[in-house]
Amino acid sequence: MSSWVLDRSGPPKLHLKTQSLKPLTLLPQASTAALGTHSLYLLCFSTTSSSSSSPNPEMIASVRHLLPIPNLNPTPSHHRRPSAIVICSSRVEASTRKAEPLPVFSTVRSFAPATVANLGPGFDFLGCAVSGIGDHVTVVVDPSVKPGRVAITAVHGAPKLTLDPMNNCAGIAAIAVLRALGVRSVGVSLTLEKGLPLGSGLGSSAASAAAAASAVNALFGDLLSGNDLVLAGLESEAKVSGRHADNIAPSILGGFVLVRSCDPLELIRLPFPAGRELLFVLVSPEFEAPTKKMRAVLPEEIAFKDHIWNSRHAAAVVAALAAGDVAALGAAMSADRIVEPRRSPLIPGMVAVKEAAVAAGAFGCTISGAGPTAVAVTDDQAKGQAIGEAMAEAFLKVGGLRSKVSVQRLDHEGARVVSSIPH
């Protein structure tokens, strides 16, 4: 058998192992994506009498396009670069079998931040992570748990949540990560510490799933990529509120994320310029708005003019982020004509809260995710506190709801390990 080896353990180098090969076909993108984070990738060729001494440059360009290589980042390592791509003569057949990883740590504790989904007109495809608040998950190698299984020993801060891992967001994500890693001989137990209220519109379920996925992945050496962890979290989200990634993606990856597609998963990071102040004023009333209930009120069909309007302003959100223009961001976030008008009546006082935020100097205000949390944006800490107080007063006077005010910055890191104990 003849093969070319593209070595990416250092600067990319191409080594001829035996005779030259003529390309027959490339694996389609979906097949290469399915190979995950293996260190060796198999692409197949037919041996011919042709004696070209170098592989087809278009083929090599295609390989690089299909397998983007992010930089290594060991803490946290949501992205892993393959060490080599092997191109060999064989049938077009991709094997996803890999050696079972062993635990690197006996205990890992991870944190995942809260998220603001939709950002107004970006329903189900725009979201960001916010600092300071979120969930923690501690995962332990546990001999008392059956190999390849997950047990939940405790949930703190949310007594309503079940300890059944098949019906708990953290448990579902942890199981999905074990399966993706191919762990079959070790069982783990986890403890969930809820820092976010349930049904708050701050990505509570996603934060639990993201923290669990991060911790289990780290326990076995950070072998999965960020997208792999998002896919694991999507299994959890599908159980709770539907298959949408606008919470789980930013909670794992940090920053602003545009979800181009869920099937197949395609995510676009949206950088916000360094040095620009951006503050989120989060006002969470004592009122639970279950995501499934809030999605049920949305229309199955919308007017063409509303589609055009929302598309314009969703694009304006992206443009504002690229420019670091907080005022433009706030204006675009406030412009939703499809989702917010249906959900606002279900949140007592929401219309008045939005008006109070703008009157107090906010650049804009909308519902965070499915609600009931209201989110406003500003570029000044002191002003942010005053805006929050005005919003809380409106919730109380008009909606009859007490609320909690929090002024937070963008979380750039996403889910990360906060402590660990070697195995």
What DSSP state is assigned to residue 49?
S
58, 89, 120 - which closes a domain: 89
Q: Which pLDDT score, from 0 to 100, does residue 289 have?
A: 81
Same domain, 267 and 290: no
Q: Which pLDDT score, from 0 to 100, does residue 240 have?
A: 77
Q: Which pLDDT score, from 0 to 100, does residue 239 have?
A: 85
Q: Which pLDDT score, from 0 to 100, does residue 48 have?
A: 35
Does a structural domain hold residue 322?
Answer: yes
Same domain, 307 and 266: no
Same domain, 23 and 120: no
Distance CA 186, CA 148 (A): 5
Same domain, 286 and 246: no
- The tally of CA atoms less than 13 A away on the side-chain side of residue 324 is 7
CA nearest to 152, candidates 141, 136, 168: 168
Inter-residue contact 201 to 246 (CB < 8 Å):
no
Inter-residue contact 368 to 406 (CB < 8 Å):
no
Same domain, 229 and 312: no
Kindly report the CATH number assigned to the domain that includes residue 303: 3.30.70.890
Three-state DSSP state, 286? coil
Same domain, 170 and 288: no
Please indicate whether residue 413 is annotated as part of the active site: no
Does a structural domain hold residue 77?
Answer: yes
Element (H, E) at 136: strand 126-141
Does a structural domain hold residue 209?
Answer: yes
Same domain, 205 and 260: yes
- How many structural domains comprise the chain? 3
Q: Where are the alpha helices (DSSP H) in 27-168?
A: 29-34, 57-66
Same domain, 214 and 250: yes
Same domain, 145 and 261: yes
Q: In what order do the strands lie in the sheet with 13-16?
A: 13-16, 3-7, 84-89, 40-45
Q: Which pLDDT score, from 0 to 100, does residue 291 have?
A: 79
Please indicate whether residue 237 is annotated as part of the active site: yes
Strands 40-45 and 84-89: parallel
Does a structural domain hold residue 96?
Answer: no
Q: Which pLDDT score, from 0 to 100, does residue 423 have?
A: 86
Catalytic residue among 235, 237, 366, 378: 237
Long-range contacts of 66-73 (CB under 8 A, 24+ apart): 66/26, 66/27, 66/29, 66/32, 66/33, 67/32, 67/41, 69/8, 70/225
Q: Which domain holds residue 335?
A: 279-409
Does a structural domain hold residue 417?
Answer: yes
Kindly report the CATH number assigned to the domain that includes residue 207: 3.30.230.10
Strands 256-262 and 265-270: antiparallel
| pLDDT tens, N- to C-terminus, the chain (423 residues) | 334 444 444 444 444 333 333 333 333 333 333 344 333 333 333 333 333 344 444 343 333 333 333 333 344 444 433 333 232 322 222 234 468 999 999 999 999 999 999 999 999 999 999 999 999 999 999 999 999 999 999 999 999 999 999 999 999 999 999 999 999 999 999 999 999 999 899 999 999 999 999 999 999 999 999 999 999 999 999 987 778 999 999 999 999 999 999 999 999 999 999 989 999 999 999 998 887 789 899 999 999 999 999 999 999 999 999 999 999 999 999 999 999 999 999 999 999 999 999 999 999 999 999 999 999 999 999 999 999 999 999 999 999 999 999 999 999 999 999 999 998
Same domain, 29 and 72: yes
Same domain, 164 and 254: yes
Strands 416-422 and 105-117: antiparallel
40, 59, 89 - which closes a domain: 89
62, 89, 116 - which closes a domain: 89
Does a structural domain hold residue 95?
Answer: no
Same domain, 162 and 261: yes
Does a structural domain hold residue 58?
Answer: yes
Does a structural domain hold residue 99?
Answer: no
Distance CA 349, CA 359 (A): 15
Inter-residue contact 369 to 290 (CB < 8 Å):
no
Distance CA 353, CA 92 (A): 59
Catalytic residue among 115, 291, 366, 373: 291
